[in-house]
Amino acid sequence: MSIPSPVREVIELARWAPSGDNTQPWRFEIVDAHHFIVHAFDTREHCVYDLDGHPSQIAVGAMLETLAIAASAHGLRAVVGRRPGSPDTHPDYSVELVPDAAIAPDRLLDAVKRRTVQRRPLRTDRLSAADKLALEEAVGDGFSVCWFEGAGLRWRLARLMFANARLRLTMPEAYLVHRDIIEWQAQYSEDKVPDRALGLDAGTLRLMRWVMGSWQRVRFFNTWLAGHLTPRIEMDLLPGFLCAAHFAIRARTAPKTVDDYVAAGRAVQRFWLTATNLGLQLQPELTPLIFSRYVREGVAFSGMPGARETAERLNRRLGGILQGVPLDQVAFLGRIGRGRPATSRSLRLPVERLMRGD
């Protein structure tokens, strides 16, 4: 397929936006050299982590922000509008690239491809006041950043993530997601998460690959051999404590609509790219927020006995740790710090495979 410039260059960079489990919930339809349609979608039908499609909508917002950043490299302003009548599950966005002499290349351009998820431990030295100010300014007027620093708070959040991971690693609904999104024996993956990016040592990875071959093996290991314990220590407890801080991106008013979550995604992406420019590494920590919302809204999310009761306890702990920040206003949770960039990462589908109909 021949894709005209500058649309091709803009999409080429925009596709590097982050998405949960590298789902890339968008496809593109070219209208002409300065106009295209983004066909977004969510994964709520088959992913327990995509409650009401909101995590996917945050990813779409991150992509639209990246698209605007990419357009700035060509002196173009990206005019984005959600098309009336498109459903929440499949929102469409019309994008026009308008020449604008006042547009300068965005300072975050160079960070787009360098931004990665770092799931391994980071340095524990605190962020500087200048770093925090830059990150707080990055999210814009509709959002603020709450910091959770110091060994005590980091340890409380690490223990919460450790407890949350037990629910995540023992639910059959989550197993189906993990089975489908991990690419084994891989350093990179175009449409999944490579196993080497999970933050596990080689021995744990080998065992995990075999165990995850079937739900029966997973259930046996979890029930009789505490098979979830080592992955939780390596992926949640140690990284949760060994970082500079945890942070929450808080919306001024609780997000409710697709547009609210897309706006949150745009703020998250500017925060993440700013962190990348500052030499900081970042890991999202969204599953406690997702389970918390299941509890608050009374939505059944698992057939596993005791899952709801466990989620309710986690919800109470999370509320206590966030120190009065209303949980329904928290759009994003993560950890941050200095450290080596990830050497394994998710890549992206080629532009041609992201065209509508492919």
Distance in angstroms (rounded) separating the CA atoms of residues 117 and 147: 19
pLDDT band at 323 (very low <50, low <70, confident <90, very high): confident
CA distance 49 to 246: 20
pLDDT (0 to 100) of residue 357: 65
pLDDT digits (tens, 9 = 90+) for 38-70: 999 999 999 999 999 999 999 999 999 999 999
Convert the pLDDT of each residue in 83-112 to its tens digit.
999 999 999 999 999 999 999 999 999 999
Domains and CATH numbers, the chain: 7-114 (3.40.109.10), 129-345 (3.40.109)
pLDDT at 136 over 60: yes
